Each structure stands twice: as C-alpha cells, then as structure tokens.
C-alpha cells in the first residue's frame, strides 16, 4: 500500500516537472537561457542596456509595464532619471530607427514617465528622455551599431 502511494507521487511529480519545464517562469525572465533565438527587439534592448551601463547608467527597470503602456529602459545617471526608448532595425537604406519615434509616441512616453515617477515616489528628480538606435548589419552575429541620442525630446 505504501509503495503504491509513493510511486504514484513520484510519477505525478515527474509529469508536472516535464509539463512545466518548457514554460518555466524563471527562464521566461531570462530569454538568453532558452534555446529559441531572441527577437530583434529583445536583441536591441540587450545591446542598449549594455551600452547604457558602459556609459555609467544604473538600470532601475526594463520593460516597465502598466495599463498605459510600456517603458523600455528606466535608468539613473548623475541623480537624473533617464527614460530610454530603444529602436532596433536591420540595416536598410535611408531609414533610421529614431524616425519611428513620432509625436504621439513621445506623448505616450512622457505620460508613462509621469506615472512611473508617481508610483515610485520620484516626482522631485530631474528627468531626461533618450532614444537608443540599434542597427544590426544583418542576421549574423556581428556587433550592432549603436547611436545614443541624449535628450531626444
């Protein structure tokens, strides 16, 4: 009797482990640990975070989501809160990634920034809005070209 209950428990545990292994929440937060390739936007944000850290930014949040939308990167540098919009593209003639930041998008980012500052009790801090363009040469593993536009709007 006891052996059957123990073996049933083990088989149930094995089934649960196998069914949840692919969709593990810890691996969902760390996309570089999974076997699937990163999407273009994810690769761009990863390159932008690396670039901002090298420039002395302390990353506070990435992909901050609320009911209004999403902020790509929120960081702090020199006592200033920096909201960074990341635009990634595969290289094409005559088109820049920052061209996709239109006035409606700017208004949305500013609205999200106000919400973020209120929620985190940072209303008195100075604020800066940046755009980081990440241009990939192709689908290969070559390093992207990064253009950081400080105080973009």
Which helix (DSSP H) or strand (DSSP E) does residue 64 occupy?
A: strand 58-66
| Average pLDDT across the chain, whole number | 82
CA 12 to chain centre: 36
pLDDT score of 49: 95
Distance CA 38, CA 46 (A): 10
pLDDT at 21 over 60: no
pLDDT score of 15: 56
Mean pLDDT of 86-90: 89
Distance CA 94, CA 4 (A): 69
Mean pLDDT check: name the lowest of 20-24, 84-88, 106-110, 117-121: 20-24
Q: Work out the end-to-end distance of the chain between its first and last CA atoms, rounded to an integer number of angstroms.
A: 72
């Amino acid at each position: 009797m006891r052996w059957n209950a123990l073996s049933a428990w083990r088989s149930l545990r094995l089934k649960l482990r196998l069914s949840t292994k692919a969709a593990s929440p810890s691996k969902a937060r760390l996309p570089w640990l999974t076997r699937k390739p990163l999407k273009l936007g994810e690769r761009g944000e990863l390159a932008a975070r690396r670039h901002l850290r090298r420039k002395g930014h302390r990353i506070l949040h990435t992909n901050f989501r609320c009911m209004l939308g999403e902020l790509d990167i929120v960081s702090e540098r020199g006592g200033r809160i920096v909201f960074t919009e990341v635009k990634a593209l595969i290289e094409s003639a005559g088109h820049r990634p920052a061209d996709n930041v239109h006035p409606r998008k700017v208004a949305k980012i500013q609205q999200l920034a106000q919400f973020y500052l209120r929620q985190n009790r940072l209303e008195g801090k100075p604020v800066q809005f940046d755009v980081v363009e990440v241009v990939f040469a192709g689908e290969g593993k070559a390093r992207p070209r990064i253009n950081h536009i400080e105080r973009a709007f």
